[in-house]
A and B are shown apart, each in its own frame.
Chain A
Amino acid sequence: MNVTSSTVDSIIVIEASGSIDSKTAPEFERTAMAAVQGQKEVIIDLTNVEFLSSAGLRVLLMIYRQVKAKSGKVVLVGTSEEIQDIMANTGFLSFFSTADTMQEGIDILKAA
Chain B
Amino acid sequence: MTESNRIDYYPTHEHEGIKFRRGHSLPFGATMVANGVNFSIFSSAATACTLVLFERGADQPFAEIPFPDEFRIGNVYSMTVFELDYERLEYGYRMDGPFDPGQGYRFDKSVILSDPYAKVIGGRDTWLAKPNWDNVYPYRSRLAFEDFDWENDHPLETPAEDLIVYEMHVRGFTQHPSSGVKNPGTFSAIRAKIPYLKELGINCIELLPIYEFDEWENSRPSPTTGEVLVNFWGYSTVNFFSPKAGYAATGKFGMQVDELKTLIKELHKNGIEVMLDVVFNHTAEGDQRGHTISFRGIDNKTYYMLTPEGYYFNFSGTGNTLNCNNPVVRNMVLDCLRYWAADYHIDGFRFDLASILGRSADGTPLSNPPLLESLAYDPILAKCKLVAEAWDAGGLYQVGSFPAYGRWAEWNGKYRDTMRKFLKGDPGLVSEMIQRLIGSPDMYSQRGPTASINFITCHDGFTLYDMFAYNNKHNEANGENNNDGANDNNSWNCGWEGETDDPDINFLRHKQLKNALTLLMVSQGVPMILMGDEVGRTQKGNNNTYCQDNELNWLDWSAKETNADIFNFARRIIRFRHDHPVLRSPVHFRYWDYVGSGYPDISFHGTKAWSVDQSASSRAFAFLLDGDHAKEGIVKDVMVYVAVNMYWEGLHFELPGLPAEKKWYLVSNTDVPAPNDSFDGGKEPLLENQHEFLVGARSTVVLIGK
Contacts and interface: CB of A to CB of B under 8 A. Distances in A.
B86 interface: yes
A6 B251 CA distance: 35
A23 B85 contact: yes
Main secondary structure of the interface of B (DSSP, over half): loop
Q: Looking at chain B, what size class is its interface with the partner chain?
A: 20 to 34
B262 A91 contact: yes
Contacts of A95: 149
A89 B87 contact: no
A91 B265 contact: yes
A22 interface: yes
Interface stretch (B253-261, B549-557, B566-574, B619-627): B253-261
Given A53-B253, A58-B147, A85 B182 contact: yes
A55 interface: yes
A19 to B, nearest CB: 12
Interface string B105-147: 0000000000000000000000000000000000000000101
B360 interface: no
Contact of B250 (A23, A58, A65, A89): A89
Contact of A22 (B87, B147, B259): B87
Given A22-B88, A23-B85, A89-B262, A58 B145 contact: yes
Interface string A71-105: 00000000000000110111110010000000000
A80 B148 CA distance: 23
A61 B255 CA distance: 15
A55 B259 CA distance: 15
- A23, A86, A88, A89 — most chain B CB neighbours (10 Å): A89
A91 B258 CA distance: 7
A50 interface: no
A55 B253 contact: no
Given A58-B147, A91-B261, A22 B183 contact: no
A88 B186 CA distance: 13
A54 B149 contact: no
Contact of A53 (B87, B188, B262): B87
A100 B34 CA distance: 38
B255 A90 contact: yes
Contacts of B255: 54, 57, 86, 89-90
Contacts of A88: 188
Nearest to A22: B87
B262 A86 contact: no
Contact of B85 (A22, A85, A89): A22
Interface string A19-49: 0011100000000000000000000000000
B258 A90 contact: yes
A89 to B, nearest CB: 4
A22 B248 CA distance: 21
Contacts of A21: 87
B655 interface: no
Contacts of B163: none
Contacts of B261: 91
Interface string B239-252: 00000000011100
Given A55-B86, A90-B255, A90-B262, 6 more contacts: A23-B85, A57-B258, A58-B147, A89-B188, A89-B249, A91-B149
Closest 4 pairs (CB-CB, A-B): A91-B262, A22-B87, A90-B258, A89-B188
Interface of A: 21-23, 53-55, 57-58, 61, 65, 85-86, 88-92, 95
19 contacts: A22-B85, A23-B85, A54-B87, A54-B253, A54-B254, A54-B255, A55-B86, A58-B147, A85-B183, A89-B183, A89-B187, A89-B188, A89-B248, A89-B250, A89-B259, A90-B250, A90-B258, A90-B262, A91-B265
